[in-house]
Structure formats: structure tokens, C-alpha cells
Structure 1
């Protein structure tokens, strides 16, 4: 397939089914321990995400980081074609249903510019490329954050979500690390 959009769509369909079969809370715990033990997190806020469907659950990791005094944030999805905005999150924070039915922090929470971005994925390859849902939110967000200064982009997924090569377009932003329950890959 020479058309990256068509190749991505086909891979998305397949990888949603694959990821659904991999969901395991023990794998999430192993990934959290590996990430904290291997990836050197720079100072500053860590932005995670509220898990959607069978996405790897990073909320326990965010609770742990918050408990250790780290500023934590979650994304808010704006109109399609715009970067994500991140709002400060605490475990007892009031959440609301966002644009895609995902829980988001309310507008009463301060906007945060993350130093670390935990990125969900449907698939990844060893070159640091990821496949998301196709709206481009994370690619636009990474491009904007990187234009402002350093940000560490850490893709998180189950090891079984690895593919030989993720189809890419010119706007796709690579990751700095990919962490699974089995390994941590430093890419940058």
C-alpha cells in the first residue's frame, strides 16, 4: 500500500482488535515500574491521558507521581485539527465527559505545559513511530511543544502492539522513548 492514510486505516482496524486482546492490569504495573526505573524524567509536569477502551492505564502511575509531589496533567481535546491543551490533574479532581467521551479536567483547572508527555498508541515500531486514532492531536501537540522547547515524548503500549513499520505521513512526530511491560526503547 503506497497511500499512508489507507495503510494507517487498515492497521488501525487490525491493531484495535490486537490491543483489546492484550489488556492486562499486571502488564500496566510492570510498565509503570519499568518507566520509572529506566526513563530519566526531566523536572516539570508530566502529562498522561485518561485511558480509552483497552488503552494501557497510566492513571496509577499518575497517582504515584502526584503523590511524590510531581505536577500532573491530562489532555483536553479541542476542535479537530488543533493541538491538545493540558490541565492540571489531581486524583480527587472533578472530571467531565469531553469531546470524544473521554474524561477531562474542567476549565477551572489551570493550563499546564508538560515537560513529559505519556502518549497512548494503537501500534508502534522500533524507529519511534506510533499509530494513533487518526485525528493527529498528539502529532500537532508534539510539534507545538517541541517548537517551544524540550519535551520528552514517551509512548506507552503493550509489547504485542509492536509492528514492523508504522506507515508515516510528513506531519508524524517521532517518540523519544517507547516503554512496554517488557522493555524500554530509547529512540532519541
Structure 2
């Protein structure tokens, strides 16, 4: 069994190259080349292995180690957030809470592919507990998470700043946004 924080397939529109390549600085042309190369590798593997796993959830995870684990060792995929949630007793901890605050470096449409805030929101939603996400940045499509148990999302940065500056000031930025949320919640109707 393997645990991963995303359920992307190896290739295609939601595959490793298309989703993670641009995050690592790959140009659109490089993304196409990478996806084609991964597909070519998967073709070779499919000829000699008992099954083709390139489109299975998690095959594109962890720098495509998910593909290797599935193809060569018949590993089964499990969402990492589920494993951690069980280990720490998250469902029990959320029970009776007034609010859950979770976070992610970049909160965007990719979060729907099994990242931590998605799993936390699913658990909290099942118990009727609202969820707020604090993120380093809010990316394209993050609003889709509002249909999956997230009630609000906030970027922690207070204005334009470099990634290095944001990381260096992360503790203070998180504290400031958490304080803002607490002040908002303390308002009387």
C-alpha cells in the first residue's frame, strides 16, 4: 500500500507533467515532451508487465514514483490524508468543534485531487463543522472547494512579496490571519 497526497494519473490533462511540470518551471512545450516521454515509458512497461496502470489514481504522484510502485510492485493507492487522519484520530478530534482551520501552500483546483485540505474538509463536513483554509496563495479554481466542505479560504500574505519573504515570515503571517478570523468570529449578530 502506498500513500500519496494527490491522485493524479501518470499522463494526460490531469497527469504528472501537465499538473506539476508548470509548478516546477516547465514550459508548455516541455510539458508536452515530458508527457509524451512518460507515455512512451508506460507503453514499454505495459508490454512486459501484467497491467497498464498509467491512468490509475496516484500513478502521477511523488514524481511518478506512484506509477513505479503500482506497475512494478502492484501497490495499492491510498490517499495520504486518510492515512494520517486515521493515525491522529482526526474524525474524533473534529467532533464537537466549532471550526476547523487547515492549510496548504497553494490552494487551487489541484486541491480537489486529494490534497490535505480536501480530506480535512470531507471529514469536518460529515460532522457539520465549518472549515477555513489558510494558504500561502490562492490559485486558479480554489472556489471549487466550496462545494466540498470548505466554507472560506484566505491567503496569508498581506500584500505582494517574494516566496522567500513569505516563507521567512510564515509564522507571523499565519498568526495575523488566524487572529483576523478569530476577530471576525467574535462579532455579535
Q: Quick check: TM above 0.5? A: no
Say which structure is richer in helix.
Answer: 2
Structure of greater relative contact order (alpha carbons < 8 Å, 6+ residues apart): 1
User: Which protein shows a greater Rg?
Assistant: 2
> Given the two structures, how large is their TM-score scaled by the length of structure 1?
0.33
